[in-house]
Structures are given as C-alpha cells and as structure tokens.
Amino acid sequence: MISGRGRGKIRPPRRNPLGGHGDNDFESQWDILSSALREIHTKNASQLSFEQIYRASYKIVLKKQGDKLYDRVKEFEEQWFGGEVMPNIQKLITPNLVNIATGGMSGVTANERRMTGEEFLRGLKAAWEDHITTMNMTTDVLMYMDRVYCTDNRKPSIFTTSMGLFREHVLRSVISDSRAGLIIFDILNSVILDQINMERDGDVIDKTLIRACVYMLEGLYESDDENELEKLYLTVFQVAFLADAKEHYQKECATLLRESDASTWLRQTRKRLAEEDVRCQTTISMLTSEKIAKVVEEEMISAHLTEFLAMEGSGIKAMIENDRYEDLTLLYQLISRVDLSKAPLKIALQARVVELGSEINKTITESESAPAPPAQPEDGEAEAGDKSKATKQSAAAKQTAAAIRWVDEVLTLKDKFDTMWKNCLSEDLILQTALTKSFSDFINLFPRCSEYVSLFIDDNLKRGIKGKTESEIEVVLDKATTLLRYIQDKDMFERYYKKHLARRLLHGKSESADVEKQMISRMKLEIGNAFTTKLEGMFKDMTMSEDLTAGYRSHIQNLGDLDRKQVDLGINVLTTNYWPMESMGGASSRGEDGTLMSCSWPTEIMNLQESFKKFYLKERNGRKLTWLGFLGSADIKCVFPKIPGKEGILGRERRHELNVPTYGMIILLLFNNLADGESLTYEAIQQSTNIPPQDLSRMLFTLSVLPKARVLTKNPANKELPKPGDKFSFNASFTSKAVKIKAPVMVGAVNKVEGEEERKDTEDRNDEHRGYVIDTVIVRIMKARKLSTHQMLFSEVIAQLAQRFNPNINMMKKRIESLIEREYLERVEDAQVPTYKYLA
Amino acid sequence: MSSSDDIPTSTFRPFASRWAGARISGSAGGPFLTPIQAPDVVSPVTKRKRPNLVGPQTIVKVNVHACGDGFIDGDETHHQSFPIHKNHICHYSPFFDAAFNGNFAEGESQEVDLYEVKPEIFGIFVNWLYTQEIMSEDGEAPSVRSLVYLWLLADRILVSSLQNQAIDLIERTRQQKGNDRLPSEIFPIIYDNTNANSGLRLYVVRVCSAPYLAQIKNSKNYPPQFLLDIVNAIRDRSTGKDRLASVLMTPYHVPEEGGGGDRAKRLKTQ
C-alpha cells in the first residue's frame, strides 16, 4: 500500500509522489516487491496485482533508486539459488555421477547409470525452466527499471543479469562433496556425453530431456555481453562433445580395422555419419552438425583409409573384381567427403585398370605365340595341303581371333569401368579423366594395339554387322571410336586401316559402303581431316572405277565387233598416293632399286590394255596407267577333253570355269599354245612371264600342287614349293565336282594378323614415314622461327605431332643431323645452349 | 509523425538487452550540437503489424483512479472504467501486455486498476490507441499541461511513440503561441515524475535556457534542480546567440520500441 497520506482533493503528484522520504519510502516499496518476488518464485503470483508491483518499482526508479533496486533483485536471486535451487540439485549428484565425471569407473550397470543421469538432467532442466518462467515475470514487473535505469546506466537488463546468475550460481557452483573442485557443469557434460555414448552403443535414451538441457546451454553465454560466439553450448559443451566423439570413433575405427572387413567399415561409417546428423537434429544442436561430421570423417574415413582400401578380399581390388557396386558407391561417397581430388580412390582405380589391362595383353600375347608354329612368315602357305590346312589355317585364324578377342576384352573391361563410373562414382569427372588415362596407358603398352583395333573394325565391317540393326551397328562403331581415341600412334593405325580397307574394297569384302563411310566420318571427327583424305580418296577411286568399267563396256559394245573373243574387263583405277601398294602384295614386284617391275602380258591382254588405255586417256590426257599384275583376278574357261580309253568322269569332256589371280591367268595362257604332252620348265615360264620369282612359285604351287585347282602337273610330283628346274604340263586328267572353281587365294586377299617379319616391315615403313613427317615439321617450324634452341624445337615438334604419334627422341636427333647434312639447318657455334639456325 | 509500424526490434537474440541505444545524454545545451544518432544497425527492423478490428476482439477493462491505491474518491470524474480492445492496448503498451497476458491477478480477471492517473488523460491515450492522433474531448489539441501528463502516462506504461508525439505537440503548441514560453506550472510536475536523462526534462531545460526569454517569475514553479539545469545549460552553451526559432526534436525522443516487443524478445520455456 502506498501513498498513505490522505488528501481531500486529488492533485497531480507533487514533489514527493511516494508520499514519504528517502530510505523509508524505498524500504516500504521494496517490501511490496520482495514479497511479490517470493510469490512469483514459489509460483503463487496469480493473486498479486501486477499494477501494484509495477507501480512500486516505477516509483523506486523515479526516486533515483534504480541502482538499489537492481542490486536488491540480484541479491534476491542469488539467495534464491543458494537457498532453494542448489540444495535440490546437489541432492541429485550421486557419487557415481562424480565418478563418471572424473573419468573413474562407475561400477554400476549402464542402466543404473542412465537412470541417475536422467534424474540429474531432469532436476537441472526443471530448475532452468522455473528460472525462465520466474524471470519472465520478474522482468515484466521491472520493465520500467529496465527501460529507464538500465538503459541510462548501460547495465545489462535484469533478464540478462539473471541468466548470468544462473550460470554463476547454478552451473558453475562447486559440488559440495567433490574432491577435485568439480562444478555442476562438469557433471552436466559428463552425464550428457555418457548418455550419448550409451546411444552410440545401441541403448535408447531420453533425447528430449537432453535436448532441453542443450537448449539451456544455447541460451546462456560466457558473459553478460551475450556474444553469439560465446554461447556456453559452443564454448564448453561442444568442445567436450567433439573431444569425446573423437576418442570414441578412434577406438571404433581401430576395432573395425582389427576385426572387420572394408565392407563392414563402409557401412558402419555411413551409419555413424547419419546417426550423428540425426543426433544434432534431435538431441543436441544443429550448430554442431558440421563439426561432428568432420570428426567422424577424420577418425573413421581419413585415418585408416589406405589400410581399408588394401584389405585382402574386401578392399578396393575385391570390390572392383566382384562388382560390389554398393561398396564402391559408398566408398566414393565417403572419400568425396574427405578428399575432393579423391586421390586414394583414383590411384587404386588406375592401378586396377592397368593391372587388368596388362593381364589381357599378357594372355593374348601368350595364346597367340603358344599354339602357332613359331616361324610362319609366309601366310600364303597357310593352306598348303589338305591335312595341314586345318591346323595351319586355324593357327592364322586363331591369331586373327586373338586380335578380336583382345579388342573384345578391352571393351568389356571398359564397359565394366564405365558401368561402375555411372553407377557408383556419380560420373565423377576427375575419376573419368584418370580412368581414360589408365586405359590409354595399358592399351598403348600393347605393341599391336593399332593393328588389332583396325582388324576389329575390319572384322566387323566384313562380317560382324551382317544382319544387325542400325542401332546395333552404331554401338559397334561407338566401340571402335572409343578405342581409337585411346591409341597414341595414330599414324600406325592409319597404315593398318588403309591396308585393311584396301583389301576390303578390292576384294569386295565390305559389307556396307554406308557403314564404311560412317566409320570414316567418325575418324574424321576424332583425328582430323588430314587423317582421312587418303581413305576418302580410296572410296572415290572405287566409285570412279565402277563408272569406268560400265563406260568401257558400252564403249566396246558400240564398236560393234562382237565376233572377236572379247575379254570382258572389270577395271579398278587406283590413285597411287591413296593406296598402300606394298602391303597389298606389291612389295615383291619392286626391284632392288625400288622401280616397279612389270610382268609380260600375253597378247590378248595387251590388246585389251591398249584398248582400255585409249578409252581412258581419251578424257584424261597425260595420265599414266600402270597395270598391277599382283592384283586382280581372272575367270578362265577351261576345256578338258575326254581321255580315250578311260571310263567314268575321265571319259567325258569336262568344262570348268576357273577363277585365278591375274598371275595365274598369265601362266595358264602360256599352256594354250602347247601341244599335248609338252611341258614348260620353271625357267621358261619365268622368262616369258617375268613374274617375280616369289609370286611365281606361289602361283605354280596353287595350280600344280594344291588339289582344288590342279590343272597343271609338276615334275617331280612332290609337294614342295616349285623351284627352278621343275617342269610343268597341262593336267588333262583334272577332275572336279564343281563347274566353277576358285583357285585358293594367295596372300593379301584376307586380312589377318601380320607375322613377325611382316610386322617389322610395317614398323620400318612407318618409321621411315615418320622420319619424313618429322623432317617436314622441323623445317616448317624453323622456317617460321629462323632461330631456335634445341629444347624449344623439340618440345614444339612433340606438341605438333602429339595428335598423330609420339615421336622418338633419337629419331628426332637423327632427323636434325640429316637436315644439317642436307643444309636446311646449321648449328649456331657460340650459343650458350644448343641452338639451330634455319638456312634459307 | 512517427508511427509505431517501424519498430526496430532485435529478434535473433533471445535475451537482447532491452535498449539498443543509449538514451539522451549530456547537458541541456548539448543535443543541438550533437549529431543525430544513427539508428542501431545491429538490430534488424521488423514490422509488427498494427492491430485492427476486422475480426471479433476480446475487450478488457481498465479502471482508472486519479487517487492513490486504497483511497475512495467520491468524485465520479476521478475514477472511470474504460473497455478497450485487448489487441490494441497490448500491441502498444508492454505494460498492459504484461498485465493482461501475464500470470498475475490481472491476467486472470482481464481487468486492471490503474491508480494515480487522471481519467481524462487516459482517455486521450485510449483515443490515440485507435486513431494515432492526440486530441482532447472537444477535438482540439490538449493543453500543454495535459500533454505533459500524457507524456508521463506514456512513459509509465511504456508507449514510446506516444511520448514522442506528445513532446512534438508540446513544441508545436509553444511555437504557435508565439511567445516562446512554456507554462511554468508544468515544471514541478515534470521534475517530480522523471529521471535526470528524461527527454522531457532535457527539452524544457533547452527551451528555458534560450536567450531573449522573459524573466523568470513564479519562482515557486521552478524546482531547484530545474534552475540548476538551466544555469548549467546556459553556461555550457558556446554558441548562444541564436534566437530560438525552432527546436530540432529528434534528440528529445525516446527510442521507440513496440508495445509487446520488449516481452516478445525474451526467452520462453519450451
């Protein structure tokens, strides 16, 4: 009750609105307030008049006694904590709780520990919530003091102060019977951590209760400045929590390393990460989620990553081996968390690719050399004799099959890693680059990769795509393109591809011109224009030749003299530069000096050639036509007269149509002019045909030894390769069930793996060619620069050639020597570093 | 005229101290030289919606007694009951917000007995609650004396924006009268019911320390502290030659905070 002096008339309050003097006034107002505070703290406020209490504090502040009021309220709270709050909390602290907090063993079961812990937390939570409720009411009552006194004097609001009091007088109060000077906060931390560890071990705990206590810590600060970074949660609890988690996961990971496999480890780690995240959401605070994730990542992933990856039977090797996609996916996700470059995974994957790739290389190399006879330089012999035919042919075919198998296996491996990359590695770009590099590495380690890839394409374009739909063909082409991308020595590949393509085209083996063109345009995209011009030229030649043949045919018909024994001509005009003559079988027809040796054509043929030449040059003046005897084939009608006195088949006249290579035709025409029973010697044939000896022997072998088209007899009659001194005559008693007979094919008609020598040849030729290319590049660079150091020149040359092949340093040195000799370049004498100068 | 719509409140700190900036400090002459304080940039400005009457609202009752607590006053004009929409009064006044929404007796009864307040002054406040305009019963501006009482009421029930409107109106009234003077009867009222740094005190000291003012008569209306403040103000002022034309009012305002804003900021139990 205030303002006790009675006044008859109401006047505005004058000098002493409190109606009293000094301290007495204060004390009487404070009495009202303190008893009200007590009621509030004991939750009995509903009978109090708010207006009255507020007015009491308002008046105290108006009387400039706000400081006194402020201090009294503080004092009141302190006493309240000491007298009413703390005794209850102290009661909840059992020796066990103290034991846990000091790190001693508690000697009780987890369940008991949980119960006592929860008791303590509940007590603390209740004290906190009471405090909040009370202080909200107290602050309402003291609002005028806060607004006027606290603001003017820059004091923290009474609410803030009371929060600080809670921190000092509850959380930081020393436990009565503690030896180590423990404070309540220590107990609180250790109880929460203990509970969390119980949960990590699979127990169920009261998350809401812990969350309430954490909420309290989030609402309290180190000082009354209430700096956001100094929440007690952050400065005290989180520190302890992270340290505890670190220790826990260190142990857990060590145990996993000792007792489990990588698969278990991956799953446990994922589980832990998820658990901790949920824990932050439900039990502690989201403020910690990133930090705890980091702790788990460090202790569970980074710490022993390499050991887990190397685990026998479950590590990364086994994961890749056994397509454990789930493991790999997990592994990728976990590693991505700790290492953006994913280095450990990258290294492991690369090693695995190279390892598996090398295995493929090795098995193919072994299976290739093992069953096949070591020396098989002349593939033309592959079909010698009925008996050896099966084994020998299969040996060659086996090699080709090996090439296809190599490609298939490489592609399978690629598919495997592609699938893995898509399914498990989130199509990670870093890993893709790494994988591509590894594939390229092991493929280029295989010396025959260029040849094999070309053979693979050859095989598919010949037979493989038969009956396939467009999209299936697309897949094959894709595969081929993929492989092509990996190959470093593009020039080698070009060489093989040209060779294989030439045979496909000339022998009409190509399944579809369309697909051929698609392949070319793909290569154009991958490697560039320069690479495919020659290939396109080959196609152009083929089309032109068709037109020419048709044109020539109608030209002959128009001449009208059909009575002659006209030889029908199908012609292929090949542009010298586009076609790989040597590898088409022309090698043997070159003399020592490299000039082309021409065979002697029979008259009939010469006439025909002349006639065509006239026709051809009519529209194309100045061109030179060279007839290549080693290519092409001829259909010959043969009549075998009946042999008198013989019965059966030999007693009749037999007509056959014989398809033989051009050389075969030339040889056989010689026998037309021979009387019955006469024979020709090897030398005679050689002389009159001028066929290169190697080709001649082979051709005669086909015609006089191999049974299928044995229209000649050889003397002596053995199965050896015809050689000078042998005699040949018409085999009048030749029989065959077929009317049309195709003479067994000579070398060059079928694309198959090269033999060792042939391969060496190819390489030599390629090296020779590279030499020219290097020359060109060096000269081009020097012409532009005039002066260049050795170092610069080399790196530039390598850079310019990278697209085609990886130039050999020694070869480059030799080329430079040779260019200096030929006076394109000279050395700069007194330069500090080796330097070259261009000589115009 | 400032509206209570733009109330800076700091929302992200559950226990933010209730006043972001300091109140006016320094001697009476000082504020003219002190630059206007920049608004506290730390506290984000959030708008509390002004209350309206579109939906049905709870009515609370305020019984206003001119006398002190425990007195019975026979004069009807000295104690009146005002039914008021709860959302309006609680929005503008943290005091009534705490009373009607707290756990005290008033929260239960939804009725507040307010002592030592003149009903006619409270009426001005009630009218302001709905209109944001200060006017007396006859529709005119209230007297300076009433405005001073209004300011003191607003101070007590913590309605800053009304305090500022009232003090602005006092200054305008002073200028309209053309004689630069404030009625001296308000000085003791002010000095009895405010603290040293209160904006109203500083304002009257400033006005009364201006040059070319008529002599002080009615000395009984000048509390000793007031005279002391005037003397100090005159002595402190270095550039005292200006005739007091108009007073820049910003330094005399109290920082405005919303009615329930103070309370809303505090931590509640979960």
- Give the DSSP letter string of A638-697: EEEPPPTT--GGGGS-EEEEEEEEHHHHHHHHHHHTPPTT-EEEHHHHHHHH---HHHHH
Any CB–CB contact under 8 A between A126 and chain B?
A: no
* Contact between chains at A132 and B269 (C-beta distance less than 8 A): yes
Any CB–CB contact under 8 A between B138 and chain A?
A: no
Give per-residue pLDDT as tens, B186-195: 999 999 999 8
The length of chain A in residues reads 840
Q: Which three-class secondary structure string do you get for A307-359?
A: HHHCCCCCCHHHHHHCCCHHHHHHHHHHHHHHCCCCHHHHHHHHHHHHHHHHH
Any CB–CB contact under 8 A between A529 and chain B?
A: no
Helices in B2-103 by DSSP H: which ranges?
Answer: 86-92, 94-101
Any CB–CB contact under 8 A between A64 and chain B?
A: yes
Residues 6 or more apart whose CB falls under 8 angstroms from that of B20 comprise B8, B10, B40, B42, B43, B255
Nearest to A753 by CA among A505, A439, A499: A499
- Please tell me what DSSP assigns to residue B253: P
> Could you give the CA distance from residue B186 to residue A361 in angstroms, rounded to a whole number?
108
Nearest to A61 by CA among A164, A142, A118: A142
B contact test, residue of A10, A64, A69 with most B CBs within 10 A: A10
> Could you give the CA distance from residue B152 to residue B200 in angstroms, rounded to a whole number?
9
B contact test, residue of A136, A217, A223 with most B CBs within 10 A: A136
Angle at B49 between CA B47 and CA B50, to 5 degrees: 125
Any CB–CB contact under 8 A between B23 and chain A?
A: yes
Cis geometry, peptide bond prior to residue B56 (ω within 30 degrees of 0):
no
**Taking residues B85-89, what's their average pLDDT?**
94
- Tokens 């607590």 locate to B69
Determine the pLDDT at residue A235: 92
> Could you give the CA distance from residue A660 to residue A744 in angstroms, rounded to a whole number?
8
Q: At what angle do helices A790-801 and A809-821 cross, to 10 degrees?
A: 120
Using DSSP's 3-state secondary structure scheme, residue B129 falls into helix
Q: A19 near A5, Cβ under 8 Å?
A: yes
Spell A278-312 as b/e; 16+ CB within 10 A means b. Answer: ebbeebbbeebbebbbebbbebbbbbbbeebbebe
**Taking residues B167-181, what's their average pLDDT?**
83
Any CB–CB contact under 8 A between B177 and chain A?
A: no
Query: What average pLDDT values come out for chain A (840 residues) when binned by 10 residues?
Result: 38 41 76 92 89 92 90 93 88 82 71 88 92 92 91 88 91 76 88 91 90 92 88 92 94 91 91 93 91 92 87 84 86 87 85 86 73 40 40 60 83 87 87 88 83 83 75 83 83 82 79 82 81 82 83 76 64 78 61 61 78 79 76 78 71 78 79 74 79 77 77 76 78 76 61 67 79 84 83 83 78 84 83 80
Determine the pLDDT at residue A325: 87
* Contact between chains at B104 and A49 (C-beta distance less than 8 A): yes
- ipTM associated with this complex: 0.79
> Could you give the CA distance from residue B167 to residue B159 in angstroms, rounded to a whole number?
13
Nearest chain A residue (CA) to B160: A147
Using DSSP's 3-state secondary structure scheme, residue A376 falls into coil
**Which pTM was predicted?**
0.66
The alpha-carbon gap from A75 to the nearest alpha carbon of chain B, in Å, equals 20
Any CB–CB contact under 8 A between B149 and chain A?
A: yes
Element containing residue A727 per DSSP (H, E): strand A727-730
A contact test, residue of B10, B12, B18, B226 with most A CBs within 10 A: B18
Q: Which three-class secondary structure string do you get for A222-242?
A: CCCCCCHHHEHHHHHHHHHHH
Any CB–CB contact under 8 A between B230 and chain A?
A: no
Determine the pLDDT at residue A588: 58
Any CB–CB contact under 8 A between A183 and chain B?
A: no
Which chain A residues are Cβ-neighbours of B156 within 8 angstroms? 58, 144
Backbone angles phi, psi at A653, to 5 degrees: -80, 135
Q: Which amino acid is at B197?
A: N
Backbone angles phi, psi at A633, to 5 degrees: -150, 165
* Contact between chains at B69 and A55 (C-beta distance less than 8 A): yes
Determine the pLDDT at residue A591: 53
* Contact between chains at A159 and B15 (C-beta distance less than 8 A): yes
> Could you give the CA distance from residue B94 to residue A139 in angstroms, rounded to a whole number?
11
Any CB–CB contact under 8 A between B116 and chain A?
A: yes
The alpha-carbon gap from B197 to the nearest alpha carbon of chain A, in Å, equals 7
Spell A455-472 as b/e; 16+ CB within 10 A means b. Answer: bbbbbbbbebbeebeeee
> Could you give the CA distance from residue A88 to residue A84 in angstroms, rounded to a whole number?
7
Give per-residue pLDDT as tens, B247-259: 778 888 887 765 4
Which token pair is A689?
A: 């045909």
- Which residues 73-92 on chain B approach chain A with CB closer than 8 angstroms? 73, 75, 78
* Signed CA dihedral, A170, A172, A173, A176: sign only: positive
